[in-house]
Chain A
């Protein structure tokens, strides 16, 4: 619930500001992260939240890749299909980096 509420809050800020490139910043706001990390600290402990943040660093790098893919393919594929391609790019980068860094590095 908290994650959804924060997503809506950032979406409203995004609609409130111009230019569009600035409003786009809020599409990658840490809304889900703030809610989830707060819940992790409350229900578990700060050590678990730190571990989750470590995973999030890789998820964030994959998010950068995802958005770069979106910028490249949206003019050609249009928003919905372009976004799906970008999410697929996120999956590849996130899982590839995770297994490369945390599993392969052992």
Chain B
């Protein structure tokens, strides 16, 4: 009976803004993320100079932020929330591949600024489609009330 009730319950999977979330983020977390992002950018640049741009490009998709983000989320909200965040990260990573494919196929043809905007648009569209699919297939994973 309880399971039947849960199956028929309406889930709230629509993304929405929650400004109060910003109050939960500490300056230490932002500094850690800033340092990791800056460090990966510098390391990717050094590797590109030393080995080649193509090999350095690998590190443009290095998961530097993921361990820090998931650990912080687990400290605040437990393993379940960290796991849900990682599920979203899978979709974001698929979008990252779309970003790179769009950039690779347009960099020598279009203005570089247009390339970066188009590639980012590709990431956003891919993420939107994949999130919609996840919400359709696994609505429990996208239910705000279970966060």
Contacts and interface: CB of A to CB of B under 8 A. Distances in A.
A59 B116 contact: no
Contact of A39 (B45, B59, B65): B45
A50 B59 CA distance: 14
B63 A22 contact: no
B131 A18 contact: no
Contacts of A24: 84-89, 91-92
Contact of B87 (A35, A36, A53, A71): A71
Interface in B14-63: 15-19, 21-22, 24-25, 29-30, 33-42, 44-45, 48, 52-63
Interface in A70-96: 70-71, 74-75, 78-80, 82-84, 86-87, 90, 94-95
A71 B37 contact: no
Contacts of A59: 57-62, 96, 100
A24 B91 CA distance: 8
A11 B74 CA distance: 15
Nearest to B119: A30
A51 B65 contact: no
Interface of B: 12-13, 15-19, 21-22, 24-25, 29-30, 33-42, 44-45, 48, 52-67, 69-71, 73-75, 77, 79, 81-97, 99-101, 103-104, 107-108, 112, 115-116, 119-120, 123, 127, 131, 134, 141-144, 146-147
